[in-house]
């Protein structure tokens, strides 16, 4: 029986219509996607979007969500000549999934961000960390700010206790019957029950996470793919407690060490206290803040024009 063989040969540029624009023929084009090795045999998925001298690395929240809720950036940053990069953190949608809780720490994820920077060859770039990604942005800036041109901390306080204090005030405003129902499920350790999750969705998420109805498709897809195992290990069972590896995290006293141009973003209806975001900006030597008066945790969607006006002005300053 004859055995088929595969013959490889150098790629030869095919003749094209001179009116067409084609990328260089010397390589196989894959739409900007790239796997980055981050050590211990693991890898994460990244993707480059647009091109320009200003480069931005987006660091998503969760913990355990993914890049997809950042898709709205495609309609704003490339239009202004800004190049940006998505990446899914370890154990998130497009990346390696070792499912090893020992890897779910703030310190290891911070080193992961640095491995991504090295793999992408970024220098003097901007980092935008949203929510849990804001924790990583702060940690990265404190350890590796020599590589940064600027920092955006979007919708994340610099202290887990501060976050808990504010979200507890939000919870206290719920009707007594709803608070009692939440407590019943929590005391029975049944926070994964669909009824509990529905109550969270209606009373917390639809008011303080994203105020649009229905939610934009990228938000829904990202949260549908949320790795709850990572979330539970780092945060806890729900938004009202921090019992995981983020418990006691507090960098307020260290913010003065962040010397790069920095922007904090908050919102009136956020889980994070907007006053915390203002305070954080005053603690950084080159800090400034912007607060959405109508948006929530996802102000990039429910106060979109104002959110991106603030981000773009900062990036192009």
Selecting among 42, 60, 261, 297, the annotated active-site residue is: 297
CA–CA dist 128, 134 (Å, integer): 7
Selecting among 270, 276, 302, 303, the annotated active-site residue is: 270
Q: Does the active-site annotation cover 270?
A: yes
Find out whether 162 and 176 touch, Cβ atoms under 8 Å: no
Q: Does the active-site annotation cover 96?
A: no
Q: Does the active-site annotation cover 67?
A: no
Selecting among 60, 66, 88, 131, the annotated active-site residue is: 131
Q: Which residues are catalytic?
A: 131, 270, 297
């Amino acid at each position: 029986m004859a055995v088929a063989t595969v013959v490889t040969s150098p790629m030869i540029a095919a003749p094209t219509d001179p009116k067409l624009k084609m990328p260089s023929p010397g390589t196989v084009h894959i739409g900007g996607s790239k796997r980055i090795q981050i050590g211990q045999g693991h890898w994460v998925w990244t993707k480059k979007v647009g091109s320009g001298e200003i480069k931005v690395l987006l660091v998503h929240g969760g913990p355990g969500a993914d890049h997809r809720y950042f898709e709205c950036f495609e309609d704003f940053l490339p239009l202004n000549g800004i190049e940006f990069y998505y990446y899914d953190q370890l154990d998130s949608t497009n990346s390696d999934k070792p499912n090893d809780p020992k890897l779910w720490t703030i310190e290891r994820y911070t080193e992961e961000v640095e491995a991504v920077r090295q793999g992408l060859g970024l220098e003097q770039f901007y980092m935008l960390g949203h929510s849990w990604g804001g924790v990583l942005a702060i940690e990265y800036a404190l350890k590796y700010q020599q590589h940064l041109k600027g920092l955006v901390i979007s919708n994340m306080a610099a202290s887990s206790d501060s976050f808990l204090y504010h979200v507890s005030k939000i919870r206290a405003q719920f009707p007594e019957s709803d608070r009692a129902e939440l407590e019943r499920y929590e005391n029975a350790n049944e926070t994964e029950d669909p009824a509990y999750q529905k109550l969270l969705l209606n009373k917390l998420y639809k008011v303080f996470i994203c105020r649009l109805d229905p939610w934009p498709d990228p938000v829904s897809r990202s949260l549908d793919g949320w790795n709850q195992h990572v979330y539970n290990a780092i945060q806890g069972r729900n938004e009202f407690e921090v019992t995981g590896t983020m418990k006691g995290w507090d960098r307020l006293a260290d913010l003065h060490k962040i010397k790069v141009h920095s922007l904090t973003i908050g919102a009136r209806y956020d889980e994070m206290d907007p006053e915390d975001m203002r305070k954080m900006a005053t603690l950084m030597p080159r800090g400034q803040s912007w607060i959405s008066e109508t948006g929530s945790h996802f102000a990039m969607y429910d106060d979109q024009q104002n959110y991106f006006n603030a981000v773009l002005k900062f990036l192009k300053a």
